[in-house]
Each structure stands twice: as structure tokens, then as C-alpha cells.
Structure 1
Amino acid sequence: MIELWGLFIASFAAATLLPGGSEVILVGLYLKGNEPAVSLWLVATLGNTLGAVVTVWMGRVVARSRPPKPKHAWQLRWHLRLQKHGSPILLMSWLPLVGDGLCLLAGWLRLNWRGVLLFITLGKALRYLLVLLLATPWG
């Protein structure tokens, strides 16, 4: 049980603006074999999703003092992409560095919470599923 809490904390921290790599912990626990793969997958997905939600919330807090009016070309590009694609672009929220920025921008642009939560969760769940599948010994 303590291992699952450790995985949760690592997954949560990895999804915030803090650095971290929860995949290594996930694979280590999976190969150790003390916990069912489904439990590891669910805990990692939940922790990482909640961490991303914190980043979205931070974006909403920033939007209060700095409304979404891009001043730089890169800000305008991401602003237009998020407005064009909306919440589905958050399927990429699992990407290192880019994902944190997408979550922050989603909050800053005040995207719909349901869509944000759905696509962040789906992206995180698929990533951890792929990590577990790649770690599975096939032979």
C-alpha cells in the first residue's frame, strides 16, 4: 500500500510544474510484482491527472490578473491552437514540458472543465497503459 502512495505522489508531482519521472517508478513497481498492474495504472493515472488539474487551476488563477491577451508570437500561436482545437488538444498533456504548458494555457483560457478533465485523463491513462505494455516481458 505504501508503494501505491509513493507512485501517486510521484505521478502527481510529475504532472505539475515540478520535475519528475513517474514512469520509472511505475515500471519498477510493475516488475516487482507486488501490486496488480491495473492498480498501478489507476493510481498513476489518478495522481498524474490531479497534478495536471492543479496546473490548470494555476492557469485560472493567473487569468484573474492577466487576462488571455497574447503579447508574443508564441503565445498567440498556442492561444489560437487551443481556441481552434479546444480541450481535445489536452490529449497531449502527458508530453514533457509541452503538457504542463498546455494545462496552464487551458486554465488561462478558461476552457470547459468537463472537456479539460476528460481529455487530460484520457491522455494520461493511455500514456501509462503504453508504458506498462512496453514494460511487459513477452516471452
Structure 2
Amino acid sequence: MSYLLLFASAFLAATVLPFYSEAVLVSMMMGGHHHGLLWLSATLGNTLGAGVNWWLGRYLLHFQDRRWFPVSKQQLEKSQYYFKLYGVWSLLFSWMPVGGDALTLVAGIMRVNFWLFFILVLIGKGVRYYVVMLLAQATLTGSL
């Protein structure tokens, strides 16, 4: 059940909702949970949450003419320009706290193949959680 809690917190952290899963991850590490399962839960949850952003981006443009649409035409064009400039490989940086969620949303808008998107985001987020866990472990054991 606790792994499901971590999965859910990582999932929410990857969406446009302001949420952070690292605190849950580190507290579970301190609680003696299996590190491999923690990494897997956090990585999959965060990657699937990014998939929600991709899906939203894919269908978001249907509403761009509405008054409530959250992004101006200029912001949208700028985001698309930078995504084209740096390409699909930029999805490896979807783990970044600032801009990572927007990157996954733009990938949907740009109609990046979902499986390519999924693999690149999975790699980026997997490496991120691995580094977070290494740093947390080093800090907890005093070897940093």
C-alpha cells in the first residue's frame, strides 16, 4: 500500500499540479522500504503522470480559440519553436522541476509518437530518481 502512495505522489508531481514526491520517497527510504521497489514506483508514477500531460497537450489545441484557454498564441508558438529547435531528445530533461511538465505538454501538442515519448521520459525520470535516492542515501549515512 505504501508503494502505491509513492506511485500516486510521483504521478501527481508529474502533472501540472504543484506536488513533490521526493519527500515521500526519502521518508519511505528511511522507513526501510525496498529501494528497488521505491525507485520503480516513483519512476513509473512520474512517467505515467507525464503521459497525462502528453495526452492533454495532444488534445489541448481543440480549445485554443476559447477565452479561458490558459496559454496565449505567442506562448504556444514560442514553446513549439523551442521544442522544434532542441528536438525530441529534450524529453530526457522532462525531470527538471522548472519546465519539465511544460515540455511533456508541448510534446503532446507537437504529436510526438507516444512510445518514443514514453521511453525518453522514462529514462530521464528514472535517472532523476536514482540520483535523488543516491543523494538521500549518502546524506542519511553521512557519507556525503
* TM-score greater than 0.5 by the shorter chain: yes
Which segments of structure 1 move beyond 4 Å, counting only runs of 4 or more?
Answer: none
The CA distance in 2 between the partners of 1:112 and 1:138, in whole Å, is: 43
Instruction: Tell me, in whole angstroms, the C-alpha distance in 2 between the residues paired with 1:112 and 1:66.
Output: 22
**Structure 1: which amino acid aligns with 2:52?**
V
Runs of 5+ unmatched residues, structure 2: 66-71
Deviation at 1:91, TM superposition (A): 1.2
The secondary structure found in structure 2 opposite 1:54 is helix
Per-residue CA deviation, residues 108-127 of structure 1 (Å, 9 max, x unaligned), is 11112222111111111011
Q: TM-score, normalised by structure 1?
A: 0.88
In the alignment, what sits opposite 2:95? 94
Match of 2:60 among 48, 59, 62: 62
- Counterparts in 2 of 1:7-26, with a 5 A limit? 7-26=6-25
Partner of 2:111: 110
Identity level (%): 39
* Equivalent-residue separation in structure 2 for 1:54 and 1:82 (angstroms): 18
Q: Contact 1:23/1:131 (CA < 8 Å) preserved in 2?
A: yes
How far, CA to CA, are the matches of 2:4 and 2:95 in structure 1?
20
| Separation in 2, partners of 1:138, 1:114 | 40
- What is the TM-score normalised by the length of structure 2? 0.85
Show the counterpart of 2:36: 38
RMSD, matched Cα: 1.8
